[in-house]
Structure 1
């Protein structure tokens, strides 16, 4: 699975897509490099659930029909995918982008996944053997493999493409000491997100508190030491910035745009429509208010990376 952009593609910039309104009919877009909101709708994505993005491609699902597709935000080319019943689907990843032969769409449920290639007429279901009372919580691609974490702190599953069409992924399960994150605060809870960042595989631990455990109060970042296959806690991510939304994340170097390094941009679950920035230097949280056109009951935030010279159409006034 090849995740790098071709050399001729300009450097991408991070944008946050906010989908809101009935059947996700309205959108606004936030440019992290400009620190500015644009009340703009992306063509062909209205009334669509954005499952994930990869190098300018989106995995979409129609909110009414359930039809799925791949959409290129550079060429606006659309590729049809099999229809999906997403009532039991937790999240999705795109392993690479067309026309790469290793391009697969993976939808994860609690203990299994459904996958297909563009042009397939159905999904292949594959169960992942997990510990009792554990569920899949996050996954990402890294150097040609898919890494999956569950609610168990010491379990990681690695998926490798088997080669033949329709053949299930080869599964390798790794058991280690885990992240070593014991709970000390009653009522707190945490989430985990795998992120590829500057040639390293990171796990971002989100610490939540509050009456219902929905308020983000802190973050911890770990990198995977591949020589020992253990997680090592990081005090800083240096020049890089991490962008989190739901169960996925991406990273960016501050030297490539007007973005503060050693920070985590994130959104919260529920009805909170704010964008937040967590500073790993002083552990502070900055609240950035979204575009006034967004109602408080925002249903979906999603970060995407787009080449800078391909985003002029996003900046047009409504």
Structure 2
């Protein structure tokens, strides 16, 4: 038996011995781990992260497509170190949450966010939504009100509506989303590589230096998601109309958007959203792509902290 095998055998025996003498006092640890998943009203498991001091001011994050809570790690780590309690869940069908066949709609996403807030009894929370998550936050307000909400931040959000319609003549043509659906069915693994290696982080711009790590992280998160959920979500984030939801937003609101966002163009989303929400403040990141949570994370962290502390 070589040295590595001996070490493995010794550690296994030690673990078994410890387990045989374990006391009931160890049970709360298991319960704490299990508590990282809660059930939506239809029973779908929703995975969540809950970082920072539990008595700190609450900030809740909603992620973009096809990502999960990991996409917020830079902001969550920064704010947790500042004394904030930061919570982020994986949307149903994404990351480590349950892969329900149905329910991949904006209404259900908003109800799932409500389930997280209610289960953890979060109050006076700042809700931060990125891209699809911005729509999720807006629809949450439209369906559940602002009883648990102190402030709202919409980052590169899909609000008020993305797709081109008679009422939204400058929106993104439906053909773009049909192409996205086709690419998803043809080879979604390659689609995620192409999105991350191109427009999402702005790596297709002249002089840009692509980050293999950021591309791989996007791809990994996308491939953790359920194929059905990510396919259905294209309709949810592109065709949902959030105009009436935004009109119900009666809390201080910050809109942050990159002015070189090739995924969610700023003119019909970020700028239009800021005009619809009463007393909203708009911050534009010059040259900022869609993925500013990574490419402009230091500035975003600073802007978030400054807004939340007010």
Which TM-score band applies after superposition, normalised by the shorter structure?
Answer: under 0.3
Bigger proportion of residues as strand: 1
Bigger proportion of residues as helix: 2
Whichever of the two has the greater Rg, that structure is 2
TM-score by length of 1: 0.26
TM-score by length of 2: 0.26
